[in-house]
Structure formats: structure tokens, C-alpha cells
Amino acid sequence: MHRTSVAEVLLTDVRRTDTPHVFAAAASWPRAHATFPRDGSPRHSPLILVETLRQLGLYIPLRFYAVPAACHAVITDLYFRLAPGNEPPARAGATEVTCRAWVSAVRRSPGRRVSGLRLDAAFTVCGLAFGQGGGGVRFLSDAQYRALRGRSARVGMVAAAPEAAYRPPAAELSVNHPQDAVLAVAGSGLLLSPADPLHPFLFDHPTDHVPGMALLEAARQAAAYGSGGALGRPRAGRLKAVRFTELAPPARVLCTQYDSTCVFRVTQDDTRTAYGTLSYS
């Protein structure tokens, strides 16, 4: 799962179905997870659906498509959609979720090794569908990854914002705790600067670039901040990674609201590294 902590593994079972390239899976979403809202909301954070999708996109290729465990998985894009009226309320213990995932657009290298694919999934509880998601992923060998990353492949932590930067209150970012904040205000803009560079969900293990989940959470927090806290829980979203977002200098997160949709982009040294949308009810 590319996770260090066992507590961050959400999948509990994944099996083939009788249909080629279609898989059945189960996941357990605990209320104790770091993303679960602490504002009295009965629903899980959309981020836990995206994380389940990410784990499916790693486990299925490694288990069923002979992708070597040593490969570097690079997410190219992702999307998610929720049906608010069908979402299950979180109960005591954990929410048992069933997933149906299908693989498409399988690409292979000249040696026939799988080098990329797309995965889409539907999420249900007690037979009621409440969410969908999907995305693309590339699989690179060590040599390919080193060639792609070059001198940028230095494992570390995301650079801190300048001392003059201001950390907004947790409520303005729609986060549970000040340590969950990943944004700081510098001048008239927002910088990606985690309050906790070892956050148990966003930065579970050392990395040489900003993880996609951290980028998506930064966009969500930017939408919350720009709306005065009114837009905290998206019902749908898309993220496209154009290039790696480096650990330094701190990336800028720009977010513009159009009615119930926020358009965001992440830039670094005036170069766009990721962009997407978040939609709200």
C-alpha cells in the first residue's frame, strides 16, 4: 500500500471476479482515522474514499498484474464523485465498504511488463452505491525513476514557509486540529506548508516530492479558506499532475470559486505542477 503504518491500510480483501479485469474488494473506514471530521458530522471525509482508491490502484497491479513491488508508482490523475443522499453515516467502530474496481488502458513495456493502467471503482455500503472514483498510474523501474527525477530525487520534508507567513486558524481551513493545516498565508497568496511535516496520513513515509494526497488536501483547504469556511466538504473533485511538485521551494496554491465549483492550480517557480476542480453541494 506504500504505507509505513498498518493503521493506514484500509483494504481488507481484494479478489478477482469472473469478468476479466474486474475485481471485488472490501475496505474498513474507522472513525478514528485522522481525516474523520470532528465537527459532529456523521459522514467520513471524501479523502478516505480517495485514499481507498489509491490503495486499490497499487495493490491490484502488484497482486494481479505482476508489477514488481520495487517499482515506483506515479499517479497521473484522479477523480472522485459522491452521492450525498446515499452516503452511509459513520457508526461505532468502522464502516464496512464494498468496492467494485475495473482496470482498463493497460500499457506494457517492450519486455511486456505492465508500465501503466487506469483503474475505476464504485463504492457501496449494504448494496447502496454512494461514490465513484478513478485515475491513471504509471509504474517506473528504479533506473527510469532516477532518469526522470534527476537531481530532484532527494528524500526529505516539505520546505517550511517564510517566517513572515501566517497560519490560519483550523476552522478557516476546515480541519480538525491546527496540526492538520497544510497551508500558510504569505502576502496575498497561499503556500503549501504543512504544520506537521510528519502528519500520519499525508506524510506517512519519506518522499522526494509532495504526495498527491497532500496536493488534493491543500486544494480543499484553499477552497475552505477562500470561502470563509463555507466550502469545506467537496462532493466531487479532479486532480491532474502535470509534473512533480518538489519539496522546495514551497509551492503556491491558487483557488478561484465559481458558484459551487472551485478551480485550483499548484505552481512552483511560476510553473504549474498540478491543477483541478472541486465541486460542492
153-279: which CATH topology? Thiol Ester Dehydrase; Chain A (3.10.129)
Residue type, 236: A
Given pLDDT bands bounded at 50, 70 and 90, which one contains residue 7? confident
Which of 3-7, 53-57, 135-139, 192-196 comes out lowest in average pLDDT?
3-7
Q: Rounded to an integer, what distance in angstroms lies between the CA atom of residue 74 and that of residue 212?
A: 9
| pLDDT at 151 > cutoff 80 | no
Q: For 244-259, how does the pLDDT look when each residue is reduced to its tens digit (9 = 90+)?
A: 999 999 999 999 999 9
Given pLDDT bands bounded at 50, 70 and 90, which one contains residue 281? confident
CATH of domain 6-148: 3.10.129.10
What's the pTM?
A: 0.95
Q: Rounded to an integer, what distance in angstroms lies between the CA atom of residue 184 and that of residue 223?
A: 13
What angle in degrees, to the nearest 10, is found between the helix axes of 46-64 and 212-226?
Answer: 170
Range(s) within the chain of domains with CATH label 3.10.129.10: 6-148
Pick from 118, 88, 81: which is nearest to 103 by CA? 118
Percent of the chain with pLDDT over 90: 83
Given pLDDT bands bounded at 50, 70 and 90, which one contains residue 111? confident
Structure confidence at residue 130 (pLDDT): 98
